[in-house]
Amino acid sequence: MTQIKSSGKSSGAKNSQADFPDSKVALFGQDEPLQLDSGVVLSPFQIAYQDYGTLNEDKSNAILICHALTGDQHVANTHPVTGKPGWWDILVGPGKIIDTDRYYVICSNVLGGCLGSTGPASKNPKTGKPYALDFPVITIGDMVRAQAMLVEKLGIKTLFCVVGGSMGGMQALQWAAAYKEKVFSSVILATGARHSAQNIAFDEIGRQAVMADPNWLGGRYLEAGKRPTKGLAVARMTAHVTYLSEAALHRKFGRNLQNRDQITFGFDADFQIESYLRHQGMTFVERFDANSYLYLTRAMDYFDLEAEYGGHLADAFKGSRGRFFVASFSSDWLFTTAQCRTFVHALNAAGARVSFVEIKTDKGHDAFLLDEPVMFSAIHSFLTAAAEQRGLTA
């Protein structure tokens, strides 16, 4: 396998990160094509990834972490664009729940992403210009096949665990269905076996906001040196509301005014929640590509394991010998407990070994990314037991 480090010339610039990321990169040449669900064959392509810890001698301690919609490979290191800690730094690292002193942890930027894995912001080798909408539409299955190619190139036959929440949880489910013999255990958080009509609706609002921005230019904004920042910021603001609960919004902001004693009778950010959402929108556009947002939300919309297995979800997990930990969050209305229970019941019907918990919290969907002691304790217990079954020494 060819692995390269970023040259350092990117200096954290987002557009440069698309082709020359500040992370490791696995290159897949013309002789290593990726067959996509759309029927298109993608070749060549690359997958950017970070790894932490040391792979043991028999390569049995590897954990793959799958990121959510707006995440990336920088799960436990300083982000090269924002300078902030890794998005799951609270869970992953030396001595932490996912202990990099014990496990070899891999996290890749998904196919279609914008931090180094081939996607719409990447250079199309046929034209020398960014793919933009010439990039083929991808699915969760395509993302997972690309990850499987990366894992194979790293010489790993079986993953000790696949971990993911939200879109990452979809990937973990796809791994469990498509690569039963390669996954020893799974940690699946705040997700569903398919996207609901409500979730598709919110994704469509976000896509339309991006495409309505005059700087989107039919997706060719990078060639013109422009970016649809306003449209992408609105998409982020809309999505971010779905990640929180009403109780969390009330607790954090209520109807508190932003740096003023009374309303202005205008359209400035009178309320703290307005200012917060505007900040979320504008910081997001600094690190994310608008076309990638279109592609990744579309991949989530298309995800439907039940349909993939002829309307019988249990068949997706038939023959699985893996161990599963599944958690939902009581105030998550993006992926409800009922949605989680649907695939838990399917796992049970398939004879899989499943532990399931609904965690009581008012933090909403984002709870899986936050300091949730019950979640931490449950994941720690599950991984400890699985490691013993795997024969991994402490």
What amino acid positions are annotated as catalytic residues? Answer: 166, 332, 365
DSSP secondary structure letters along 22-35: SSEEEEE-TTS-EE
Half-sphere exposure of 237 (CA within 13 A, CB side): 17
- At position 236, the amino acid (one-letter code) is R
Cis preceding linkage at 44, omega within 30: yes
- 246 three-state secondary structure: helix
Place of tokens 């070994």: 353
Residue 102 annotated as part of some ligand binding site: no
Tokens 């990078």, residue located: 222
Distance between CA atoms of residues 154 and 26, nearest Å: 9
- From CA 290, how far away is CA 282, in angstroms rounded? 12
Q: Is 366 annotated as a binding residue?
A: yes
Cβ distance 168 to 66 under 8 Å? yes
Of the candidates 167, 166, 163, which has an alpha carbon nearest to the alpha carbon of residue 176? 163
Q: CA torsion sign, 28 to 30 to 34 to 38? A: positive
Is the sign of the CA dihedral 233, 243, 324, 105 positive or negative? positive
SS (H, E, C) 158-180: CECEEEEECHHHHHHHHHHHHCH
The annotation places the binding site at: 236, 366
The annotation places the binding site for substrate at: 236, 366
